[in-house]
Each structure stands twice: as structure tokens, then as C-alpha cells.
A and B are shown apart, each in its own frame.
Chain A
Amino acid sequence: MKEEIKIPEIINKETSRRGFLKGAAMTAGGAIALATIGGVRPKEVKAAEAPKVMQRYLFAERQNCTGCRACEYACNIQHEGVVRPSVARIHVYKHKGVVDIPVICWHCDDHPCIAACPTNPNSLTVDPKGNGIILNEKTCIGEKCLKCVEACPAQYVRVNPDTGQPLMCDMCGGDPECVKACVRQSGQPQGPCLIANTLGFGVNQAYRNVKPVKAGEDMLALLFYPSNGGRPVTGKSGKGR
């Protein structure tokens, strides 16, 4: 079992990719050998994988959202320990009962929310590691202000009904739980909707300007009215009832 404790050290030591692979192969081999002798379960062998890269941006591929809200649940579990979507830092808006639109913090590089915060010191700060927005609950003046809610171009920021303070996405310190939940629930025939990345590509700056309702309208037009320039054909909803 002593071998196992060394695993992270070996990974940290790696200098070149090649050397890293070699090391990983060695430890994995060692762990498997241990598994046969010492009864370590194969699950624990996974510990030999590279540590998770710190993610800095969140994306939503809206076409893939099924509206299961697993992201909200995962967010709640991470932050509150129990499911309570009304205080989740990510939310899914259902547009006209047809399309589900994930509403996320795009982690803008210019941080309009932080710029709008009037308190001194600023109640909102950026987590240098994971690029998340951290709220200082002691200095935030909550309901009286909510300038950050107004400033958010994506209409993302919601207010915690208990404290009156804004709910901000902290990226779970660089390893967002919502993305993991989305990956777990997806597949057959479409992939996950949420993606985390280290680069923003500037796409987040463009996406953020689309409000949830507009995103819903876009998605309806894109998916459901393919042959008529985005408009229904027969009557208001095409039903003729």
C-alpha cells in the first residue's frame, strides 16, 4: 500500500509529456500488481490519472439541453448539501414549454457584475485559480443594491430568497460539478450540454448578450421551424384548433 501514497508525487515530478506517460504507466502497473496481491479494487487504480486541469470558463451548448436540471441539483449538493434549485447558481429556463435554456455565468473577462458592485472593498472578487466569482457575504449589502443583477448582460444573476444577496457561480474552484452531472446524464443520441474550458475563445463574450427569452426564441426558430424562415406555417402555433 505504501506504493500508492507515492503516486501523486510521481505525477507532480513529470517534466515532459513522455516522462509523464512513462511514470503513469509505471504506477498504474504497480497499482494493478498491488491489486492482485493486496486486494486494491480496480476503482482505486484510477487515482493514477493526471489531476484535473483547473477550468476557467463555462459554456452551454443549448441545443443539447434536455431540461433535466441535473446541473442545478449538482450545484445545490456542492454548495448547500441538499437539493434546492431556487438557490442554484445555474438554472434551466423552459421556453414556451418546448425548449430548455440553461442560464449560466459565462465568466466574462471584463466582469460587468464586479464593475457594478458599489461596496468598498468590492464584495465580488475573481477566484484567481478557477476564475469563479466569489461573493463576500459580509460586505454585500444585498437587497438594497443588486447592481450586479442589473449589470449582468445574460440576466443570469438571481437573488437568494433567504439572504437577499446575489447567487454567483464560483466554478466550484475550477472543477464545476454541473458539468460532471451533465456529462453523466447525457448520451444517446446527444452529448452533454455543459462544457468547461480553460480558454474563453471570446465566445462567452458574445453568448452572454443573449437573454434567456431571446435564446429560447432562437432555439425554437432554429430547431422547430426549419422550412419557413423561423415562422410557423398554419396559424399561431400551427394547430388550427
Chain B
Amino acid sequence: MTAPKGGYFGKILEVDLSKGEIKTRPLSDEVARKCIGGAGMGDHFLTTEYKAKHDPYAEDSFIFIGVGPLNGTYCPATRASFVNQSVYTGLTSHAEVGGHFGNEIKWAGWDGIYIKGKAKKPVWLSIKDDKVELKDASKMWGKDTETTDEMILKEMKDPYARTAVIGPAGENGVPFAAVIVERFRAAARTSTGALMGNKKLKGIGVRGTKAVPTVEPAKFLQAAKEAEQLAVEREAWQGIKRWGTGGLLEQKQWVTSSLITKNFQTTWYPDIEHIGGEQGARTFWKRHVSCNNCPVHCLKLGVIREGKHKGLIAEGPEYETGGLLGSNLMMKDFAGMMAMIELCDGLGIDAISTGGVLAFTTECVDKGVLTAADLDGIKVKWGYADGYLELIKKMAYKEGKAGKLLAKGVRKMSQEIGKGSEAWAVQVRGKEIAAHDPRGDKNRAYSYAMGQCGGDHHEGDSPEIQARWAMVNSLCMCSFVGGYPWAKETPPVFVNMLNPLCGWNMTSEEYWATARRIITMERSFNVREGISRKDDRLHKRFMTEPLPEGPKKGTIFTAEEEKKMQESYYKYYGWDDNGIPTEATLKSLDLEYLIEDVQKAKKNL
């Protein structure tokens, strides 16, 4: 085992909440080079430490907050990655979150934070360089994410610290609870919030003062500056700079026809002009916020200027939040939609899953499957924000009949309700999907159905793009800045940065092999949990109900397209017809330790 020369500090912070112990876990250069960091490193721990059919709520289940070698360096737009076995789906999952939180972890001298065990009473984790403490969080318990963020910053007595906290939804064990980072950013699709709540870990505050060791600083800086220039010059980012991803709401409506509408019934929603990016720019946004060293500043903050929500500061709409809590609920009331988005952030709940649940509930009410009595008398109809706001609150606190039902998520709800409701219970592997309709944007089906997290929009739209994204997520890079212009080049821009940073001699081939290794690791974990080809598919609504209107009227995602998608994907990664990684593939990717498990799982299919 050799210590990393550069790019890493060679140590991971290990916290055992049961014992209240804080330890250092060494990280070797070999493991670092094989798994890179972030999502890949988390997958390494998931596959090496868990046995098959692992209980996500078990005492030994861990949360890994990963950073990559590029975090804390001159490289722009790095992020942090939250990795754990999802308590929602039981599968591997990772969520990336921007801001400066990841970089602070790195500057504090850690290559990641590994948290296991369960605390007896609420705690929060304070990290100031090597000084790591578990502190009492009983006063914070029950508070929303904004207040918790303020309290942690106050207790740390450091205005430059950054936080990641959970809200009431996480405390109450809502399985799609989110971690809210720096008050407005969410790592939401992993159910990490619920797991943190289960561990009684209210939040993390981190501040670092070190510099990342670099093997050849001048050479690295030159490569990083070239990469930065690519991001600055990219024409597509000019739109994102102006409207954030909220601007995509209009684009998906008018150009690609993939804007989800009315619980995925159609993609035609001209009323988007009342809730889209241009509305935000004209009436709402006040502040454009960047991640570290990033020229794109896609996060938009604004304030509601009139009406009942006057004075409300909120972030968005982004494409996903505006899609799921906007067009998918047929919203025309911009302020109401922003109130919902902010409520999700405040309560620490995934806005995507929440939007999916609310849309499903509304369609149930529409079709007479659910009545007002089932929903505590709350009025639920398309576009009615007040009813939805009530439901979100109930959901986060699991209050009343409505709260208890909705907090189960779409799949379990439809199982409980029955009456044919699974026909409109749109989910993939138990998770609500994001805001791109795969009938309008067919490549997106790869991301939803083939991506190992399931139902996620940022897994990559083709086998090759998924490999790129796997590296981007493991390097903890922004998929906008790093994913599009950098990862595509051959050799990728990343390699030029990594070699002088870490003292490696990585080639293009090794880069792509690492990407395939990370995806195969994720797949093997899922295979152990019983996933195979039968689960690699979209919800049947997209395969049976043609789009009723719009430029792509009549389109469905055909069975043929599904077959083609699955087969091309398995072929690219060297898996068998059933989507199980073959022995030869596992061997070639240095994943011998998984062969036995995978073979066993294959027999049980």
C-alpha cells in the first residue's frame, strides 16, 4: 500500500456514531486510482463492506460523503457526492451537490467522510481541519434546514464554514428525505436524509485551511486553466448563465417536447410561460450564485414581491423543481410553485419525488380512486398550490392519514391503493423519475432505466455518456461544466489534469476502463440485491400511452426501442443478456471479489 503522492491527503474521516468514535482510515494510491473518489469510492465501500441483501437501516450501514482529487484545486465547479444504500429502493445510490461544501472537506485534509452507527441522541458533526467533534444537536432537532444551517454556523463561530443538514422530513424517516447543503442546494435522490435521521445525525459543519498536495503544480495549473477556458467559452452555457436550468422549461416545451405535464400524461404545456425561466428572470430572480470558481452561476435566488407569499426568498425554479412541482402539477401560479419548492428545501425533502407523489395523488383524486376523506379533507386539484403546500407539510411530518400515505412514495402508495392505480404510478425501481419525458427525449430513457440509481436524470443518455458521467461523478465534477465539454474529448481533459495533480500516468484507455469499473461495481451491488434486465425498463405509461398533443403527438417508447437500449447497453459494458456482469468482465476490471456474489445472485434469478 502506497500513500497517494498528490490530489489526495491519503486519509478518510471515519465516524462511528454508536461509539462516538472518530478515526482516520488510510487511503492508498491504488484504491484511489481504481475508484477515483466520490461516487466511485462510495461504490467501492458499498461492494466491499456489505454482504448481499443488506438491510439499509442496519447498524453498520454507512453514509459516505465523497470528494474527488480535483476538489479544492484550481479546477472549476467541483462538488461533493453523497453515497449510500438507498433506504427507499435498497439499491446503490449517489447524489452530487455543488457549492463549496466538498471543497471545505478537502481543505480540511480529508478525502471523504465515512459515517456509520447510530447515535443515541441527536448530534451534529463539527470539522475544523483535524479537529473533529460530535456535538449535541438536541436544540436543533425538529428545526427546518435554514434554522439548522444558521445554528451550526453560529456554533462553529466561523463565517466561512459550510453545512449539510437535514430537516424534519429526514428526522421523521420520510424515505425520500434530502440533505440540504448551504441552505439551498440539495443532495436529494439518495434518501441520505432519511438515513441521517435514522442515525440521529442532524448536520455537518466543515471548514478547512489546508492546500491540496500537487505533484506538478505548474503543469496542473496550465491544464486546469485550459479546462476552465473551455467552460467559459461554451456557447450553451450562456443560456444557463442567464436563466439557470429554469430556462430549459421553455426549451423542453417548445423544442424537444419532453416537458412532463399532468403526471406524465402529456408533454404539451404552453402555460409554462407563467412559471418558466423567463418569468423567473422578469419577476423573481435577484441573485445569481456560483459553485467554486465556476463561470456558469446556474443557481438563481429570488424573492416573491406580492401576494400571499410576499417576502419569501427561494431558489429556483430549476428544470427539475419547476417541472415536477410546476408543469407536472399544472401550476400557473408562480409564487405558489416557489413556495412549494422552498417548503421542500426547508423541510429537507426531495422535490422530485415530492412532485411525483403529489401528481400521482392528484390523478388518483381525478380518477376517483382517492377521496377527500383519505386525504384528511385537503382539497387536491391540478394547479392548486395551497392544497399541495398542506400535503407537503403533512408528508414531511407523516401527519394524519394523508401524511402517512404520501410519505410512502408512489410505488407503495399504488400497492396500497390498488384499483389499477399502478397504471399511473410513474417510477423506476421504486423511485419517482425526474422531469424529462422519455417519449419526447428518448435518449433520456437510458438515464432512467439503465442508470444504476434508477429514475435519475443525471446518469447519462447513452452507454458511452454514462461512462463519462460515472467519471464525472467520481471526480465530483459538475456534469454541466465537466461533463459536456471535458469528458468528451479524447484523451479527456480530466486526464491532463489528473496526471500532474496525482503523479499518475493515466491513459485514455485506463480512464474509460475506470468508468466501466465504477458502473460495473454499481451494477454488481444491484444484482446482489436482485436487480436484472426485468428492472431495466421504463414505466408502462411511456410504452402504452402515446403523447396526446404537441409536436411529437402520437409518440410512444416502443418495446423495440427498449430492447435496443438494453442490448446496446449490456454489450458496451460486457454484461450478459440478462444484464449480469460476466466473469470475464469482472476479472478484466479488477473486480474479482464480486464474482462469487454475482454468480450466486445469477442462480437465484
| Given A68-B292, A82-B217, A83-B74: A185 touches B211 (CB 8 Å cut-off) | no
Stretch with Cβ within 8 A of B (4 or more), from A16-24, A44-52, A93-101? A93-101
Inter-chain contact A241/B144, CB cutoff 8 Å: yes
Q: How long is the Cα–Cα vector from A207 to B63 in the complex, in angstroms?
A: 45
Q: Is B312 a contact of A239 with CB atoms below 8 Å?
A: yes
CB-CB under 8 A from B211, the residues of chain A are 76, 80, 82-84
Per-residue A-contact encoding for B305-321, CB less than 8 Å = 1, 0 else: 11001111100000000
Q: Which of B80-88, B258-266, B341-349, B486-494 contacts A (4 or more CB under 8 A)?
A: B341-349
Whether A238 touches B311, Cβ cut-off 8 Å, given contacts A69-B100, A84-B211, is yes
Interface hub of B182, B209, B291 (most chain A Cβ within 10 A): B209
CA distance A232 to B242 in the complex (A): 27
How far does the alpha carbon of A223 sit from the alpha carbon of B313 in the complex, in Å? 10
B314 to chain A, nearest CB (A): 9
- Is the pair A228, B311 in contact by a Cβ cutoff of 8 Å? yes
Q: Are B232 and A184 in contact (CB under 8 A)?
A: yes
Complex interface: chain B residues within 8 A of A185 (CB) = 232, 290, 293-295
B194 on the interface (CB 8 Å rule)?
no
Q: Is B536 an interface residue (CB 8 A)?
A: no
Residues of B within 8 A of A94 (CB): 159-160, 182
Closest A residue by C-beta to B308: A234
Task: Give B397 Cβ to nearest chain A Cβ, in Å.
Answer: 11
Contact present for B342 and A239 (CB under 8 Å): yes
| Interface presence of A204 (CB below 8 A) | no
Distance (whole angstroms) from the CB of B125 to the closest CB of chain A: 19
Complex CA–CA separation, A67 to B342 (angstroms): 21
Contact B306 A227 (CB under 8 A): yes
The answer to whether the Cβ of B595 comes within 8 Å of any Cβ in the partner chain is no
Interface hits, B257-311 → A, CB 8 Å = 281, 286-295, 297, 301, 303-306, 309-311
Q: Are B183 and A97 in contact (CB under 8 A)?
A: yes
Cβ-defined contact, A223 with B311, below 8 A: no
With CB as the reference atom, state the residue of chain A lying closest to B168: A241
Q: Which residues of A have CB within 8 Å of B507?
A: none
A73 vs B343: C-alpha distance in the bound complex, in angstroms? 34
Q: Tell me whether B107 is interfacial, beta carbon within 8 Å.
A: yes
User: Which residue from A76, A93, A186, A189 sits with its C-beta under 8 Å from B160?
Assistant: A93
User: In the complex, which residues of chain B have a beta carbon less than 8 angstroms from the beta carbon of A42?
Assistant: none
Q: Give Cα A68–Cα B268 distance, bound, in whole angstroms.
A: 37
Instruction: A76 to B107: give the CA distance in the assembly, Å.
Output: 14
Q: Give the complex CA separation of A134 and B281 in angstroms.
A: 44
Which residues of the other chain, B, contact A67 by a CB distance below 8 angstroms?
289-290
Q: Say whether A237 contacts B313, CB under 8 Å.
A: yes
Partner of B294, one of A68, A76, A233, A241: A68
Contacts of B238 in A (CB 8 A): 188
Q: Which residue of B lies closest to A160 (CB)?
A: B209
Number of interface residues of B (CB under 8 A): 56
B184 touches A97 (CB 8 A): yes
A99 cross-chain contacts in B, Cβ below 8 A = 287
Contacts of A107 in B (CB 8 A): none
Q: Which residues of A contact B303 (CB under 8 A)?
A: 223-226
Nearest chain A CB to B389 CB, angstrom units = 9
| Min C-beta distance of A191 to chain B, whole Å | 12
Q: How far is the CA of A93 from the CA of B162 in the complex (A)?
A: 11
Bound Cα distance from A98 to B289, whole angstroms? 9
Rounded to whole angstroms, the CA-CA distance of A36 and B148 in the bound complex is 64
Closest to A223 in B: B286
Q: Mark A44-78, 1 if CB is under 8 A from B, else 0.
A: 00000000000000000000001111100100110
Interface bracket on A: 35 or more
Q: Which of A168-218 contact B (CB under 8 A)?
A: 184-190, 212
**Residue A121 at the chain B interface, CB threshold 8 Å:** no
Instruction: State whether B74 touches A73 (Cβ < 8 A).
Output: yes
Of B221, B286, B306, B312, the residue contacting A77 (CB under 8 A) is B221
Determine the residue in chain A with the shortest Cβ distance to B313. A224
Establish whether residues A83 and B73, one from each chain, have CB atoms under 8 Å apart when the complex forms.
Answer: yes
CB <8 Å contact, A77 and B290:
no
Closest A residue by C-beta to B290: A68
* Distance in Å: Cβ of A164 to nearest Cβ of chain B: 13
On whether the beta carbons of B297 and A97 are closer than 8 Å, the reply is: no
Closest to B237 in A: A188
B311 lies within 8 A of A233 (CB): yes
B310 touches which one: A91, A184, A189, A228 (CB < 8 A)? A228
B290 touches A81 (CB 8 A): no
Q: Which of A80, A83, A161, A189 contacts B209 (CB 8 A)?
A: A161
Contact of B214 with A by CB under 8 A = yes
- Which residues B163-188 have CB closer than 8 A to chain A? 182-184
Complex contacts, A85 vs chain B, CB 8 Å = 107, 160
Q: How far is the CA of A161 from the CA of B109 in the complex (A)?
A: 15
Contact pattern, B 207-238, Cβ under 8 Å of A = 1, otherwise 0: 01111101001100100000010001000001
Which of A68, A77, A190 lies in contact with B291, CB distance below 8 A?
Answer: A68
In the complex, A139 has a CB within 8 A of chain B? no
Interface: B150 (CB within 8 A): yes
List chain A residues, Cβ under 8 A from B29: none
A194 to chain B, nearest CB (A): 14
**Measured between alpha carbons, how far is A67 from B238 in the docked complex, in Å?**
18
Residue A86 interfacial (CB < 8 Å): yes
B146 within 8 Å of A by Cβ? yes
- A225-B311 contact in complex given A68-B293, A77-B221, C-beta closer than 8 Å: yes
Is B241 among interface residues, defined by CB-CB distance under 8 A? yes
Task: Give B140 Cβ to nearest chain A Cβ, in Å.
Answer: 15
User: Are B72 and A100 in contact, CB atoms less than 8 angstroms apart?
Assistant: no
Contacts of A66 in B (CB 8 A): 287-290, 297
The CA of A78 and the CA of B587, in the complex, are separated in Å by 46
Report Cα–Cα, A131/B128, bound state, in Å: 35
**B598 → A minimal CB distance (Å):** 41
Complex contact B313–A69 (CB within 8 A): no
- Chain B neighbourhood of A69, CB < 8 A: 100, 292-293
CA separation between A3 and B170, bound complex, in Å?
Answer: 70
A75–B465 Cα distance when bound, in Å, is 36
Question: Given that A82-B217, A83-B212 are contacting pairs, would A234 and B287 also be in contact in the complex, using a CB cutoff of 8 Å?
Answer: no
Interfacial chain A residues near B73, Cβ < 8 Å: 82-83
Q: For B347, what are the chain A residues with a Cβ–Cβ distance below 8 Å?
A: 241
Q: How far is the CB of B312 from chain A (nearest CB, A)?
A: 4
Q: Do the beta carbons of A187 and B72 come within 8 Å of each other? A: no
B149 interfacial contact with A, CB 8 Å: yes
Q: How far is the CB of A189 from chain B (nearest CB, A)?
A: 5
Inside 8 A of A186's CB, which chain B residues have their CB?
295
Q: Which residues of B contact A234 (CB under 8 A)?
A: 309-312
**Do B309 and A237 touch across chains, with their CB atoms under 8 A apart?**
no
Q: Is the CB of A239 within 8 A of B346?
A: yes
B212 contact set on A, CB distance < 8 A: 82-83
B412 to nearest A CB, angstroms?
26
Known contacts A98-B183, A185-B232; 18 additional CB pairs below 8 A are: A66-B287, A68-B290, A68-B291, A68-B292, A68-B297, A69-B292, A83-B72, A83-B211, A86-B160, A86-B209, A97-B183, A224-B313, A225-B303, A227-B310, A234-B309, A239-B312, A239-B342, A239-B346
Please, could you name 25 A-B residue pairs with CB atoms under 8 Å apart, sorted by A? A66-B288, A66-B290, A68-B295, A73-B74, A85-B107, A86-B160, A86-B209, A86-B210, A97-B184, A98-B183, A161-B209, A184-B232, A186-B295, A190-B288, A224-B303, A225-B303, A226-B305, A231-B311, A234-B310, A234-B311, A234-B312, A237-B146, A237-B313, A238-B312, A241-B393
- The 5 closest A-B CB pairs, nearest first, are A97-B183, A68-B290, A233-B311, A86-B209, A238-B311
